[in-house]
Amino acid sequence: MDGYKQKTYTGKTKRYVQTLELRDDPEMIKEYLKWHSEEHHWKEIRDGIKEVGILEMEIYILGTRLVMIVDTPEEFNWKEAMDRLATLPRQAEWEAFVAQLQGCREDARSDEKWNMMERMFHLYD
């Protein structure tokens, strides 16, 4: 494994890490992967993520466990950004669509589905 290259930003950034469980159904997991691929993603969702100030977002999967890493500018306000994201075009439709695969309420916003993780270790310079 070669790892994953990251962008370098000129200003200070901060990171949020969240987790979510998918339904334990291999076919649904395949669907979830499909709709997050470059070929099938919804452009409005990617545009909205950038519009609210998120610099980078990655989702990793192991079995049914998802881990999302979100990098933002240092001054980023999570609550304000999630409130704004929820109002953007097709966002509610996207959340309802993927909720079927995530096993949560259809009307749940992104910040209601994903659980914020607490950093318990950091390798300091």
Q: What angle do CA 58, 44, 51 make, to 5 degrees?
A: 70
Dihedral sign for Cα atoms in the order 56, 124, 66, 77:
negative
CATH number of the domain to which 101 belongs: 3.30.70.100
Whether 2 maps to a domain, the answer reads: no
Count of the separate structural domains present in the chain: 1
**Given this model, what pLDDT does residue 110 score?**
92
Whether 23 maps to a domain, the answer reads: yes
Give this prediction's pTM: 0.91
What domain range includes position 60?
Answer: 13-114
Q: What is the pLDDT along the chain (125 residues), one digit of tens a residue?
A: 899 988 889 999 999 999 999 999 999 999 999 999 999 999 999 999 999 999 999 999 999 999 999 999 999 999 999 999 999 999 999 999 999 999 888 889 999 999 999 999 999 87
Whether 80 maps to a domain, the answer reads: yes
Closest alpha carbon to 116 in 43, 17, 45: 17
φ and ψ of 31, to 5 deg: -65, -45
Given its phi and psi angles, is residue 15 left (phi above 0), alpha (psi -120 to 50 degrees) or beta?
Answer: beta
